[in-house]
Amino acid sequence: MGVLNANLDQARARMHALYGENHRITDGKYDRSLAVKCINGTFVGKKTDEKVIAFKGIPFVGRQPVGDLRWKAPVDIVPDDGVYEAYYIGKAPRQEESFSQLGSLYPQDEACLYLNIWKSTDEATEKKPVMVWIHGGAFEIGGTAEPREECTNFIRENPDVIIVSVEYRMNIFGFFHLSHLPDGKDYPDAQNLGILDQMMALKWVHENIAAFGGDPGNVTIFGQSAGGGSVSLLPLVEGSHKYFQRIIAQSGSPVFTRSTEEAIACTNEVMNALGCKTVADLQKVDIETMLKTEGGLLALRVWAERDGRILPLDPYKAYADGAVKDLDLMQGCTKDEVGYFVYGFTLDGFNAWAAKRLDKKLSQLTDEEKALCAAFCENAKDVSPEYSSTTRLFDQIVFIAPLFRLSENQTMAGGKSYTYFFTPESSVPLMRSGHAIELSTVFNHPEENFVTGRFFDETFSKTMRRMWVQFAKTGNPSLTAEQSPDGKAKEWPLYDIENKHVMIFDEFNIHAEKEAERQIVDWERAYFLTKYYCI
């Protein structure tokens, strides 16, 4: 424990060293070539190297969600003629600290609704495609200060796009149902505030990104884990389609939601533990106690809510009915998603947690469905002897089956879906090709190898990034031989109902396969579980 605490202290010190306060510039002394005029102020960035400018800590709301705005919808910006530094990332949302998410170790505050922009220093005259990143962290932890998601390296290599990263409220501050409480009628949006924060950030991007050289008519939203869930849900929010045209969902889908009944039950658990009956009672509880209580009770159960107002009651049906068919979708997962959690919990710890979670899941099923799960687990014992069969079942429930259901529904509705499967393995024991293993590759930070444990092949990594960019630019991630870093064309076929094509990201052989060739999803014994979501 002492070594772990020492590592945490070192990581915390590293993150705090990145922090600084942005101030209003009143003396007129600033570099005009690094200043961009927006609706809510002129923001002055800094060069992060000779080829990249970053604008950090730009507020995308008119008032931060503190005081009487806690648990309230984000407030839109107002015009401002002031000039402001945009040198430092804004504070992270309030959360419990975690070594697995270094962004959580950055200085925190409830006043957290800021975004960051990275662009090339070139003087291109054509507007560039924009990629808006929404970070993960199970809707509980994380932040835009995460080192592996810093975008200088990405933009230096791919100067033909602009990247934006956005912050949003999480945990008890961003996804906590309150309207059922005696004084809860004044908090009708508390269950989905994180989603509304993301929407407000996208509105800011739409209205201001042209001033940075970006094309507001060519925006791709992309995210991983809770961020992947977010970008799969945002197109279901009314009015959202004017803000983006494309979606890249990495290891996340609408399965990361809960019903109103489930959300209320989660709230009641926390309220009972805190001895609170009303929102007024809750407002009197200190933040650390709130976070620790909620985190201890609701681990991996903090999801967006299918409330029938902000989000539909059945997101999968919305996809099947064509709600997203006008947008291009690219999505995928890693081969051993749950390996990340096995490593994090330790093998014994994960097995104990998973057994308890599985009991709850099985209580929802019919006897016939329970038998199917039992058959899956019996077969899985021989596939991964160092993992429990429950691990493989949760791979299916939480990541793989929802991925394919989304591709099926989007395709049946007449929309486009490009689907991938990432397979390179970590050198970290038990991690394998676990959750989040692709992030340091996507953002070109191989040195941030907490998950990978090693460097992946450089050409493979560059090719993957180029396909992400190509999708953002054109809506098709395929590369010609001239565009591909290895000089070989990469044809990525659309998912189709008959062949179910998937792009396999093997480290030394990126190629397309029919899903049946690799048998990624268990269509008979696991696919049906998506109707129960993953709470």
Q: Which two tokens stand for residue 376?
A: 């899956």
Residue 43 in contact with residue 24, Cβ under 8 Å?
Answer: no
Cα 517 from Cα 495, distance rounded (Å): 14
Active site residue 100: no
Q: What is the 3-state secondary structure (H, E, C) of 312-357?
A: CCCHHHHHHCCCCCCCEEEEEEECCCCHHHHHHHCHHHHHHHHHHH
Q: What is the 3-state secondary structure (H, E, C) of 429-484?
A: CCCCCCCCCCHHHHCCCCCCCCCCCCCCCHHHHHHHHHHHHHHHHHCCCCECCCCC
Q: Count of CB atoms within 10 A of residue 37's CB? A: 11
Map residue 202 onto helix, strand or coil. Answer: helix
| Look-up of token digits 């268990």 | 522
Residue 16 in contact with residue 77, Cβ under 8 Å?
Answer: no
DSSP code at position 509: E
Which residues make Cβ contacts (< 8 Å) with residue 192, sequence separation at least 6?
Answer: 175, 304, 305, 307, 310, 311
Burial class (CB in 10 A: 0-12, 13-18, 19+), 343: buried
Cα 4 from Cα 62, distance rounded (Å): 40
Residues recorded for the chain: 535
First to last CA, the chain: 30
Residue 111: which of 145, 146, 60, 157 has the closest Cα? 60
The one catalytic residue in 98, 225, 240, 407 is 225
Residue 304 in contact with residue 175, Cβ under 8 Å?
Answer: yes
* Residues classed as catalytic: 225
